[in-house]
């Protein structure tokens, strides 16, 4: 394959003042992209703000011969971030929704503020930036969007109800937009990365974080943002050199006849079969998911 480059393309990377976002920005810029480096500059729990983090990454890019502009808005003000891209570079092609915060606490101790702040930055922020970018990408019939979910969203995790809810919401948003963007050549994919950062340092040992380098994640993100990538609607776990697509697996389950009443006892009698994943099938669309239901419903007409 020819070298993957981004000459003439403009990218927004949110939460780019450090960690994964910084690494994405540096990689895209090194391959010709003009990058809007967005970062509010607050603490990992969402408190405070500073222009230093985004400006430092912009300075790094420029020192290496690249082109970048800083943006200091919260992702909740997504329209302002997109405006920065248009004002600075006159176009927009790539959106990487990476910004996030953590407020880990068990559900019974979680405050309303803990819930709203995490949902706001992750889910509302991803929505706001993408919503502002969407008309531009549609009108030019080209766009690449990367959403960031998490293993906590895909599988759940103790003490992260707010984070998990936001992250699975982001996955659903990305999958829905993949369908909507297909005819306009807007490819939307979702990643569940693991890398050392201010956030993962709160839940993983330091020696593990030190070895989970953001540079092991960035190549997948760069590919998903490239013209060469024609895949859309994928969820990918990535970290430490491991790249793997995730899809929902549904068990064959139990099919009960609709010609008579279905009782809780019927469910209990078939519980082992309902939960047996042997011979399970992948579901890749709402249509595929509904096929078994429609097939059983159709049996009433026979």
What's the rounded mean pLDDT across residues 178-198? 91
pTM of the model: 0.92
Would you state the pLDDT for residue 291? Answer: 76
* 8 — pLDDT class (breaks 50, 70, 90): very high
State yes or no: pLDDT of 114 exceeds 70. Answer: yes
pLDDT in tens, 264-276: 999 999 999 999 9
**CATH 1.10.287.4290 residue spans of the chain:** 248-301
What's the rounded mean pLDDT across residues 103-114? 97
Catalytic site residue from 127, 142, 163, 216: 163
DSSP 185: T
Would you state the pLDDT for residue 26? Answer: 98
pLDDT in tens, 125-161: 999 999 999 999 999 999 999 999 999 999 999 999 9
Find the helix or strand (DSSP H, E) in which 273 lies.
helix 271-275
State yes or no: pLDDT of 235 exceeds 70. Answer: yes
CATH of 248-301, one of 2.60.40.10, 1.10.287.4070, 1.10.287.4290, 3.40.50.720: 1.10.287.4290
Please confirm, yes or no, whether 216 is among the known catalytic residues.
Answer: no
What architecture does CATH give domain 10-246? Answer: 3-Layer(aba) Sandwich (3.40)
Would you state the pLDDT for residue 39? Answer: 97
Find the helix or strand (DSSP H, E) in which 23 lies.
helix 19-30
DSSP 90: S
Q: Which residue has the higher pLDDT, 283 or 222?
A: 222
Whole-angstrom distance, CA of residue 96 vs CA of residue 37: 10
Q: Which residue has the higher pLDDT, 292 or 131?
A: 131
Strand, coil or helix: 224:
helix
User: For all residues of the chain together, what is the average pLDDT?
Assistant: 93
pLDDT in tens, 52-77: 999 999 999 999 999 999 999 999 99
Would you state the pLDDT for residue 295? Answer: 80
**CATH 3.40.50.720 residue spans of the chain:** 10-246
Give the residue ranges of DSSP H helices in 97-217. Answer: 112-119, 125-140, 151-155, 161-181, 206-211
């Amino acid at each position: 394959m020819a070298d993957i480059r981004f000459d003439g393309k403009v990218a927004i990377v949110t939460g780019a003042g450090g960690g994964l976002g910084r690494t994405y920005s540096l990689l895209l810029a090194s391959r010709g992209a003009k990058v809007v480096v967005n970062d509010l500059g607050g603490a990992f729990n969402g408190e405070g703000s500073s222009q230093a983090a985004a400006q430092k990454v912009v300075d790094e890019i420029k020192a290496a011969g690249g082109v970048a502009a800083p943006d200091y808005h919260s992702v909740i003000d997504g329209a302002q971030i997109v405006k920065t891209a248009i004002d600075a570079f006159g176009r927009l092609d790539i959106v990487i929704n990476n910004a996030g915060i953590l407020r880990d606490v068990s559900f019974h101790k979680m405050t309303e503020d803990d819930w709203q702040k995490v949902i706001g930055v992750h889910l509302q922020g991803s929505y706001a930036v993408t919503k502002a970018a969407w008309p531009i990408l549609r009108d030019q019939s080209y766009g690449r969007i990367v959403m960031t979910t998490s293993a906590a969203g895909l599988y759940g995790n103790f003490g992260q109800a707010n984070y998990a809810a936001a992250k699975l919401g982001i996955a659903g948003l990305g999958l829905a937009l993949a369908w909507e963007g297909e005819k306009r050549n807007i490819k939307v994919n979702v990643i569940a990365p693991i890398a050392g950062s201010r956030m993962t340092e709160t839940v993983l040992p330091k020696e593990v974080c030190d070895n989970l380098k953001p540079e092991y994640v960035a190549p997948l993100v760069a590919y998903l943002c490239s013209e060469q990538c024609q895949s859309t609607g994928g969820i990918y776990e990535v970290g430490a050199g491991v790249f793997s697509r995730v899809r929902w697996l549904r068990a064959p389950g139990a099919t009960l006849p609709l010609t008579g009443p279905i009782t809780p006892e019927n469910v209990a009698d078939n519980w082992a079969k309902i939960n047996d994943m042997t011979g399970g099938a992948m579901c890749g669309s709402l249509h595929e998911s509904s096929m078994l239901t429609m097939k059983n419903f159709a049996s009433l007409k026979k």
